[in-house]
Amino acid sequence: MRDIHETLELWGAWAANDHSSLDFSHIGAGFKGLITSTSKSRAQCCDDDGIMVDGCVARLKKYKNEEYDLVISHHVFNISLRAIAKKRKCSDGTIRKELQTAHGFISGCLHMLNFL
């Protein structure tokens, strides 16, 4: 069984290199000055895995848009949870709970597809 966090980290690197079919802004939900340039030194998943995870993340966008923004900001753009919490003016714990909810949703989708 794979770890969902590791799977999303690999997918995030894959998506950051313009492989994703999701239509997310490269400015990153109000984090204009915080986004560092994406480096190709991050480990990536293969295209088949990336497309499958991409579909699950797209479903997250359909049902839970705020959690989707959080997944994109954290996994694709590598923005720390603390920086996201500061931008949203809430606690780190709140952001971690939202991310955990998003991870659970994506994990459930991947389990339904027999991916994880």
Distance CA 13, CA 16 (A): 5
Q: Is residue 60 part of a domain?
A: yes
Distance CA 108, CA 28 (A): 25
Distance CA 85, CA 91 (A): 6
Greatest CA separation for the chain:
39
Q: Which residues of the chain have pLDDT under 50?
A: 1, 26-27, 37-39
Q: Is residue 106 part of a domain?
A: yes
Range of the domain at 72: 4-20+44-112
Q: Is residue 28 part of a domain?
A: no
Per-residue tokens: 67: 């959690």
Distance CA 96, CA 45 (A): 24
Q: Is residue 71 part of a domain?
A: yes
Q: Is residue 101 part of a domain?
A: yes
Number of separate domains in the chain: 1
pLDDT at 19: 62
The CB density around residue 77, as the number of other CB atoms within 10 Å, is 21
* pLDDT tens digits for range 60-75: 999 999 999 999 999 9
The CB density around residue 45, as the number of other CB atoms within 10 Å, is 22
The CB density around residue 109, as the number of other CB atoms within 10 Å, is 19
Q: Is residue 8 part of a domain?
A: yes
Quick one: which of 44, 46, 41, 94 has its CA closest to 66?
94
pLDDT at 38: 47
